[in-house]
């Protein structure tokens, strides 16, 4: 799977939007962009995924650059419960049955 680059940490205030960036300059045409998050002392939790178009769900939005070399996970209104490590992972559609491989992710802190 192609590599992603994320900032080590970010800070946010409660009730404000958060934009978590991910760079993936070597992405291939068949790589899906997946986002998972891991709350303290828990297993990872699926957030969202997409291929080319922007995606929205009840948890977040995923904005994908036109050249697909970067993407941004958007939390529209951060809450204290959103404090977690966020992982941006690429996975080839033809490797969809294989395990997700996690990088270091971005540690998001949310202040009240």
Binding stretches for another protein (CB under 8 A): 34, 38, 41-46, 49, 87, 93, 96-105
Contact 2, 93 (CB under 8 A): no
* Closer of 64 and 87 to another protein (Cβ): 87
Spatial separation of the C-alpha atoms in residues 23 and 13, rounded to whole Å: 24
* Closer of 27 and 105 to another protein (Cβ): 105
We find the least distance from the C-beta atom of residue 16 to another protein, in angstroms, to be 27
* Closer of 38 and 109 to another protein (Cβ): 38
Contact 86, 47 (CB under 8 A): yes
Tokens 């992972």 sit at which residue?
89
Alpha helices in the chain (DSSP H): none
Spatial separation of the C-alpha atoms in residues 70 and 77, rounded to whole Å: 22
* Closer of 29 and 97 to another protein (Cβ): 97
We find the least distance from the C-beta atom of residue 105 to another protein, in angstroms, to be 7
We find the least distance from the C-beta atom of residue 15 to another protein, in angstroms, to be 26
We find the least distance from the C-beta atom of residue 10 to another protein, in angstroms, to be 17
Q: Alpha-carbon Rg of the chain, whole angstroms? A: 13
């Amino acid at each position: 799977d192609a590599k992603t680059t994320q900032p080590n940490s970010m800070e946010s205030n409660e009730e404000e939007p958060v934009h978590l960036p991910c760079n993936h300059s070597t992405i291939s045409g068949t790589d899906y962009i997946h986002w998972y998050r891991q709350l303290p002392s828990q297993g990872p939790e699926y957030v969202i995924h997409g291929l080319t178009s922007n995606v929205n769900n009840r948890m977040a939005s995923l904005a994908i650059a036109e050249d697909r070399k970067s993407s941004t996970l958007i939390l529209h209104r951060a809450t204290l419960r959103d404090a977690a490590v966020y992982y941006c992972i690429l996975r080839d559609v033809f490797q969809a049955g294989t395990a997700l491989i996690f990088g270091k992710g971005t540690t998001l802190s949310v202040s009240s």
